[in-house]
Amino acid sequence: MHDTFPKYLLWNAERFPERPAIREKDLGIWQAWTWKEMKDEIVALASGLATLGFRRGDKLAIIGANRPRLYWGMAAAQCLGGIPVPIYADSVVAEMRYVLEHAGVGFVLAEDQEQVDKIMEIQADNETIRHVIYDDSRGLRDYPHNGLHDFQEIQAAGREHAGRNPEFLPGEINQGSGSDVGIFLYTSGTTGNPKGVVLTNDNVLITSKNSARQDNLTEREEVLSYLPLAWVGDHIFSYGQAYVTGFCINCPESDTTVANDLREIGPTFYFAPPRIFENLLTTVMIRIEDAGAVKRNLFQTFMAVAKKTGIAILNGDPVPLRDRLMYKIGEVLIYGPLKNTMGFSRIRVAYTAGEAIGPEIFDFFRSLGINIKQLYGQTEAAVFVTAQPDGEVYADTVGVPSPEVEVRITDDGEVIYRSPGVFQCYYRNEEATRETKNAQGWVMTGDAGYFDGNGHLKIIDRAKDVGKLQDGALFAPKYIENKLKFFPQIQEVVAFGANREYVSVMVNIDLDAVGNWAERNNLPYASYQELAGHSSVYDMILKNIIQVNQDLAADQALSGSQIRKFLILHKELDADDGELTRTRKVRRRIIADKYRELIDALYSDAESCHVVTEVTFEDGRKGTIEADLRIVQTTPFAPLKKAG
């Protein structure tokens, strides 16, 4: 019975010995390992870990970008009954220290010198971390090597160990079971320190099998693995599903080459948060604006055709012959080249989740013939709670319950679920576990939602964030923020209004989109701060807010939540400054405290506010920036009355 990852590894090496299991682009060249070759690499690493004293129940931290050896580290730890603990590669020392100490990590597998430096700083007052293994040896030659090991040296020791004890590792693997803890995944920590989500092998493997079966995933899929190793989405899409189906994952050369590597691989199965799709669309529209009049007109003409018929064709709905012919011409002239440029030519299934995606953005990609769908999930669910089946794809829902998942809406409107993927507990946090999961296995998501007439789930907002204005009007901040983030000029938004007289927002502009617009309009600027404070940029954002207010005026429940005041922040919200999580979720409490004077100004008669803000530079040094921020007042629209 294949109930653990190591057992799947051995099975895949038998059934797919020559099929590629993983690729990595290094120095511009793609290198591949078959399932048999990958098994040999992992067995050598697991045996090497055993020579260092790694035993059942020990934790191995995995820190770095998407690299084959880091994925192998997860399986190697599991071969010995250990627990991998992936950590976000861009974590600062304090964040990394918390996870390492909370999880009780004794062994670390780090990508390179940057990560090793962080670990060595932590080791100065941490006696738990005994051994650190590094993948990339550059810059580490002169480091003290007491407890610091080269990856290849550990593998070499492992091969010697396996030669002397051939029955050792098979025996360790056979001891493993589906109920064993498979991994610790730490939440993003929007309201405080992250929580360690404990998932068993069964949690991940059963969910991976069910979701793969639902989308007919096979060993022939190709996936680009570019999302953080510490995020549950990557653990399911690049690890869990790869092991249960046998498909190949591909590691990009670096963060900066992802777009090019995506085009080279041409994945058949793809996942990206809404921001990635938004950025892609922004890039496309910027290029079209820079194109000549003929190309621009051709694009606009055939995108109108796609908007009219593309989604219907993708859904298999009847479409008149003339429209089908026009769409085929558009496929040759526009859609096909555009998909090829984005690396989407071969995509059979694509998912987005994490935040709401703008209907216009969602429909744009589907109109090109890209089968992008939405899902709703959590780390505590091993991702899948609901997903959109083929033929039932709507821009404003997150789908129906995934296989073997039960979903209910409480009397208070909160979404709850239970499934084979439900986490065991929060590590060393019984109180939080009891607050989140009840004795019957139901998980409280903290999200407010409802099922529509099609049986699809709609998410409104975080239940705890939904509030009321002083006049009793409903206030759903995330809903308002997402509507504004649909505009390509806006990168991030934080809305305020609970228990206040009106709604106000702080806006981050998208530097790429607004910067390109500024260049086309001969608007000089020297920095983000200077561009964000320009009167023309304020006028642009004001138009976006007016459009959102018009939409809100037509919504009976939210017409009272129209935006009355806004300002544009002088800096981008940043995870290094504690304003965002590592998965780019807004940390409302920290922002409310850090920018208290700005919030107070938004609820006063002030027309501007002076602010001094501490920032963290790339090298870890602290500094401050200051600015006088303009506050703009808007005029709300009269609520539209329901006909009849």
More confident residue, 543 or 616: 543
Cβ–Cβ under 8 Å, residues 421 and 379: no
pLDDT band for position 283 (50/70/90)? confident
What confidence tens digit (pLDDT) does each residue in 164-194 have? 999 999 999 999 999 999 999 998 766 678 9
639 — pLDDT class (breaks 50, 70, 90): confident
* Measured distance CA(38)–CA(13) in Å, rounded: 8
pLDDT for the residue 389? 95
Place of tokens 């020559």: 18
Report CA-CA distances (Å) from 63 to 73, 75, 86, 91, 250: 10, 15, 6, 9, 18
Q: Whole-angstrom Cα distance, residue 315 to residue 392?
A: 8
Predicted pLDDT of residue 190: 60
Single-letter code of the amino acid located at 319: V
Q: What is the pLDDT of residues 522-539, one digit of tens each?
A: 999 999 999 999 999 999
Q: Are 69 and 135 in contact (CB under 8 A)?
A: yes
For 568-581, the pLDDT digits (tens) are 999 999 988 888 88
**Over 90: is that where the pLDDT of 290 sits?**
no
- pLDDT per position as a tens digit, 89-133: 999 899 999 999 999 999 999 999 999 999 999 998 998 999 999
Provide, rounded to the nearest whole percent, the portion of the chain with pLDDT above 70. Answer: 99
Mean pLDDT, residues 575-597 taken together:
86
For residue range 298-351, what is the model confidence (pLDDT) as tens digits? 999 999 999 999 999 999 999 999 999 999 999 999 999 999 999 999 999 999
For residue 189, the model assigns a pLDDT of: 67
Q: Regarding predicted confidence, which is higher, 361 or 185?
A: 185
In the predicted model, what is the mean pLDDT of the chain? Answer: 93
**What distance in Å separates the CA atoms of residue 280 and residue 283, rounded to the nearest whole number?**
5
* Least confidently predicted of 61-70, 98-107, 204-213, 457-466: 457-466
Mean pLDDT on 510-523: 90
Can you say how many angstroms the Cα of residue 23 is from the centroid of all Cα atoms in its chain? 21
The residues near 513 (Cβ < 8 Å, ≥ 6 apart) are 282, 286, 488, 489
DSSP string covering 190-250: SSSS--EEEEEHHHHHHHHHHHHHHTT--TT-EEE--S-TTSHHHIIIIIIHHHHH--EEE
Tell me the backbone φ, ψ of residue 230, rounded to 5 degrees: -80, -5
The whole-angstrom separation of Cα 134 and Cα 414 is 44
pLDDT(644) > 50: no
What pLDDT, on the 0 to 100 scale, is given for residue 642?
52
18-22, 27-31, 289-293, 503-507: lowest mean pLDDT where? 289-293
pLDDT of the residue at 465: 78
**What is the helix (H) or strand (E) element at residue 162, kind and residue range?**
helix 151-164
pLDDT 10s digits, 193-244: 899 999 999 999 999 999 999 999 999 999 999 999 999 999 999 999 999 9
The confidence score (pLDDT) of residue 408 equals 97
In this prediction, residue 621 carries a pLDDT of: 81
- Can you tell me the mean pLDDT for 146-166? 96
Q: How confident is the model at residue 486 (pLDDT cuts 50, 70, 90)?
A: confident
Q: Which has more pLDDT, 633 or 487? A: 633
Average pLDDT value for residue range 476-481: 87
User: Model-level pTM?
Assistant: 0.84
Q: Which of 367, 380, 297, 300 is nearest to 339 (CA)?
A: 367
Domains and CATH numbers, the chain: 5-271 (3.40.50.12780), 272-370 (no CATH), 467-633 (3.30.300.30)
Give the closest residue to 112 by CA, choosing from 146, 81, 89: 89
